[in-house]
């Protein structure tokens, strides 16, 4: 049959059918042609799977726009070429980890083979491991780069991989664009060196696990509290992911003896059979854990995503119901606890700092100011927080940091968000609250009483296809051309435009936001600040057909008893902002 494909798509199909690809791949392509499945054939071949600034991500399957042996191979060959050129006359090594997804072990081994075929020493985890441990391993082993095969909390049909540099952080400029350029030079399957060199591949596990757990244990700031509250009633679920390998072990190492695993989700499984989405930001993903927590009267419930870099947590509120804390709340609580602990221990010298993203709650900035600790704000993405840590290494000391999307970091021995260390710290601060006759939620309310009640909401609008992309661009253009003069009854006193890298005050005077400053570069983000402390951020997604609006409002919290009324006021104010700005 004649397939009604456009010329470039047809060319890719023909290249795969005639090129040096395996027989099974060619049979699958021919079956798509013979069955007339033009939609699937087009989606599989209409473009090359893009190697972005963070690496690869796509649906697993056959074709140039899919995650498979050949697209992963081309990306790894390009990366190998770049690493060899970047570190001439050095003994180069890389570390590789993978999650529980379909094809993750196979892709990890494939990547190891290609690196080794290019003369690069490979440290390959013998079984699935969390993403933050890969970051730790790079630094521990003195590697020049690293790969973790994962698609984070994407649906089951996806896989991908993230690329890390020698500081254990995801690649940033100038390496990100330079790696992409090298990957794009791999235009033929014949350019890829598939034949691995077994003598250059070393399997690792306990020699990294043990020191990593020890470093997490060293994060504890109140070990005596943990001893007194060792029977803290904890429910944990890895949601079929890598967290099962180390979260229970980390909690045990700290001394927590009463940890209950959600058995239905304990076995690693890339199909994620018990959830629609393995994302701890969504309540349904944590429902089994919440059910167990209710049945055993737990103090704390925690869930990690498949590659264990994000964690969701919940505790009983002042009405006795289990409430899930959002990313802003948990990031704030962690920093609140650490700042207090460092102050009490006499460790605040004026050289300590916290780092967070510009769309994460300003409550953290306010608390840092109270304690005389610097708070650095970066663009969205933990690689920018890692960049700040790297730039300040040896000059200032990193306490912790986080982002609103459920990613947190304590200490600097990992350079990415770390759900293993975060679970340990969340358990500790829950034990600290219980030791004082409080719940985790009581601690949250105490923080709000001291610093103000900050409430944040995320509005995410999906606009698919070419017309959707154009609509998103038009929305941003309209906001720039006609910015709001007031929001929810309060005058806009400042506008930050990260695309133009300008900050405009209430008089209309513009000043530059310094490009090249740590964690800051040109990015299509707009922020509006009002006189009463309301903040609205607009940011088109770089990876999905979405535009995201982050709304933050605040009010004083006079007492614990005033919580419900203040909360209702803040929610109503957020809704007013959404309606006024037509964010729907």
**Whole-angstrom Cα distance, residue 325 to residue 321?**
12
Whether residue 152 lies in the annotated active site: yes
SS3 string of 220-242? Answer: CCCHHHHHHCCCCCEEEECCCCH
The answer to whether 13 and 34 have CB atoms below 8 angstroms apart is: no
Measured in whole angstroms, the distance separating CA 376 from the mean position of its chain's CA atoms is: 18
The neighbouring-strand residues paired with 457 are 551
Question: Nearest 10 degrees: CA dihedral of 86, 87, 92, 96?
Answer: -30
Pairing mode, strands 502-505 and 490-497? antiparallel
Q: CB-based contacts of 485: which residues, under 8 Å, 6+ apart? A: 491, 492
Residue 412: partners with Cβ closer than 8 Å, 6 or more residues away: 389, 393, 398
Token reading at 480: 């720039």
Element of type H or E holding 212: helix 206-218
Sign of torsion over alpha carbons 556, 558, 563, 568: negative
Q: Which of 449, 413, 454, 457 is nearest to 577 (CA)?
A: 457
CB atoms < 10 A from the CB of 434, how many?
21
Structure tokens at 374: 């610097």
Q: How far is residue 348's CA from residue 495's CA, in Å, rounded to a whole number?
A: 33
Distance CA 134, CA 96 (A): 7
**152, 422, 439, 537: which one is catalytic?**
152
Under 8 Å between Cβ of 484 and 581? yes
**10 Å Cβ neighbour count for 352?**
20
Question: Nearest Cα to 423, choosing from 219, 240, 580?
Answer: 219
| DSSP-assigned beta bridge partners for residue 458 | 550
The DSSP-derived string for 26-69 is: HHHHHHHHHTT-HHHHHHHHSSPPP--SSEEEEEBSSSTTSBSH
Helix/strand/coil for 364: helix
- Answer yes or no: are the C-beta atoms of 503 and 513 closer than 8 Å: yes
Compute the chain's Rg from CA coordinates. Answer: 24
Q: What does the block give as tokens for 157?
A: 């049909």
CA distance 231 to 225: 11
Does residue 174 have a cis peptide bond before it, meaning omega lies within 30 degrees of 0?
yes
Please list the active-site residues. 152
């Amino acid at each position: 049959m004649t397939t009604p494909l456009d010329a470039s798509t047809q060319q890719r199909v023909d290249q795969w059918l005639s090129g040096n690809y395996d027989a099974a791949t060619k049979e699958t392509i021919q079956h798509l042609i013979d069955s007339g499945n033009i939609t699937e054939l087009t989606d599989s071949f209409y473009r090359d799977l893009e190697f972005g600034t963070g690496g690869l991500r796509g649906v697993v399957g056959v074709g140039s726009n899919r995650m498979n042996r050949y697209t992963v191979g081309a990306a790894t060959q390009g990366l190998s070429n770049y690493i060899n050129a970047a570190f001439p006359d050095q003994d180069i090594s890389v570390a590789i980890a993978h999650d529980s997804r379909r094809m993750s072990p196979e892709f990890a081994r494939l990547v190891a083979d290609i690196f080794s075929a290019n003369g690069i020493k490979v440290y390959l985890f013998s079984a699935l491991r969390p993403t933050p441990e890969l970051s730790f391993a790079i630094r521990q082993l003195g590697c020049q780069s690293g790969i973790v095969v994962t698609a984070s909390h994407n649906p089951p049909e996806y896989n991908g991989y993230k690329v890390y540099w020698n500081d254990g952080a995801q690649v940033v400029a100038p390496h990100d664009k330079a790696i992409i350029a090298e990957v794009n030079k791999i235009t033929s399957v014949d350019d890829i060196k598939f034949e691995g060199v077994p003598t250059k591949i070393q399997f690792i596990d306990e020699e990294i696990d043990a020191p990593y757990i020890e470093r997490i244990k060293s994060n504890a700031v109140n070990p005596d509290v943990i001893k007194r509250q060792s029977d803290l009633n904890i429910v944990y679920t890895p949601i079929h992911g890598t967290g099962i390998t180390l979260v229970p072990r980390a909690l045990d190492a700290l001394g927590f003896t009463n940890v209950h695993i959600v058995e239905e989700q304990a076995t690693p499984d890339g199909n994620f059979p018990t959830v629609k989405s393995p994302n701890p930001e969504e309540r349904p993903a944590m429902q089994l854990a919440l059910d167990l927590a209710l049945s055993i009267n737990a103090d704390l419930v925690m869930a990690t995503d498949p590659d264990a870099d994000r964690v969701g947590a919940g505790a009983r509120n002042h009405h006795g119901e289990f409430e899930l804390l959002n990313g802003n709340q948990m990031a704030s609580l962690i920093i609140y606890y650490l700042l207090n602990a460092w102050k009490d221990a006499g460790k605040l010298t004026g050289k300590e700092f916290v780092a967070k993203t510009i769309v994460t709650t300003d409550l953290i900035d306010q608390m840092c100011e109270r304690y005389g600790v610097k708070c650095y704000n970066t663009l969205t993405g933990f690689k920018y927080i890692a960049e700040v840590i790297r730039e300040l290494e040896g000059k200032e000391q990193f306490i912790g940091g986080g982002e609103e999307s459920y990613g947190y970091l304590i200490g600097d021995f990992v350079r990415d968000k770390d759900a293993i260390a975060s679970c340990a710290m969340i358990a500790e601060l829950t034990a600290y609250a219980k030791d004082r006759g409080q719940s985790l939620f009581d601690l949250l309310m105490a923080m709000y009483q001291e610093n103000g009640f900050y409430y944040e909401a995320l509005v995410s609008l999906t606009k698919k296809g070419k017309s959707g992309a154009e609509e998103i661009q038009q929305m941003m253009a309209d906001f720039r051309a006609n910015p709001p003069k007031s929001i929810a009854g309060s005058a806009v006193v400042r506008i930050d435009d990260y695309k133009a890298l300008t900050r405009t005050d209430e008089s209309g005077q513009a000043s530059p936001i310094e490009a090249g400053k740590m964690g800051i570069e040109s990015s299509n983000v707009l922020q509006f600040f009002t006189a009463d402390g309301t903040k609205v951020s607009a940011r088109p997604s770089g990876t999905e057909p979405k535009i995201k609006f982050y709304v933050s409002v605040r009010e004083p919290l006079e007492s614990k008893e005033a919580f419900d009324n203040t909360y209702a006021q803040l929610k109503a104010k957020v809704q007013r902002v959404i309606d006024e700005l037509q964010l729907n």
